[in-house]
Amino acid sequence: MLIGFTGSRQGMTQFQKEELAKVLKFKECSEFMHGDCIGSDEQANQIALDVGVSIFTIHPPDNIKARAFCFDTERQFRWNRELTSYYPLAYKGKEIRVRWYPIDTYLKRNHRIVDQCSYIVATPKEFVHSIRSGTWSTIRYAWKSKKDIIIIPPIERPLELPENSVEQILERPQD
């Protein structure tokens, strides 16, 4: 199964890492697709490798400072403008295949990941929806696209609620 991933640049909590590994095993992930950013994408890439995934598709962002350069330590695909074929690589003692998509804006790249995957895993840094979050934007697009998605909450992070949200939660509806 081709599984796509979205997460924050702040990285995952331990709970999110453990649950991601379980999902990849349970769903028998054969190919893993992500956006090649520092933080969660980089961590998820390693987890997928650790659980035995051997095919990776990378959708790099246009912000070079935020790139993790997964499987591209020599930065050969730094300014990639075209889709590559699957490259066979020996990486940390494992035989894998990797292909890179052209760099693109975050929104286009995230939509492409959702459009191409059978299943999406999301690890947001917040417990609640955030308008200014690429992860939540990708989640909303996956919902709109009727994709199967699992959201692994950021257990272990302090609960950060928007202003007045506690009052809204505690308010009783008027009869």
Rounded to the nearest 5 degrees, what angle is found at the Cα of 132, between the Cα atoms of 22 and 42?
35
pTM, rounded to two decimals: 0.84
Is 79 a domain residue? Answer: yes
The per-residue pLDDT for 78 is 66
Q: Is residue 44 part of a domain?
A: yes
Q: How many CB atoms lie within 10 A of CB 172?
A: 5
Classify residue 115: in a domain, yes or no: yes
For residue 36, is it within any domain? yes
| 156 part of a folded domain | yes
Q: State the residue range of the domain holding 91.
A: 2-170
Q: What angle do CA 79, 82, 87 make, to 5 degrees?
A: 90
Residues lower than pLDDT 50 in the chain: 165-170, 172-173, 175
**pLDDT for 76:** 72
Which residue in this structure is represented by tokens 């035995």? 52
Q: State pLDDT tens for residues 38-67.
A: 999 999 999 999 999 999 999 999 888 998
In eight-state DSSP terms, residue 145 is T
The amino acid sitting at 18 is E
Ramachandran category for residue 140: left, alpha or beta (phi over 0 → left; psi -120 to 50 → alpha): alpha
Percentages helix, strand, coil for the chain (3-state, rounded to 5) are 30, 20, 45
In this structure, is residue 6 part of a structural domain? yes
pLDDT at 149: 96
Q: Which pLDDT value is given to residue 170? A: 45
Euclidean distance between CA atoms 23 and 45, whole angstroms? 14
The number of folded domains in the chain is 1
Residue 158: predicted pLDDT: 53
Domain membership flag for residue 175: no
CATH number of the CATH domain containing 81:
3.40.50.450
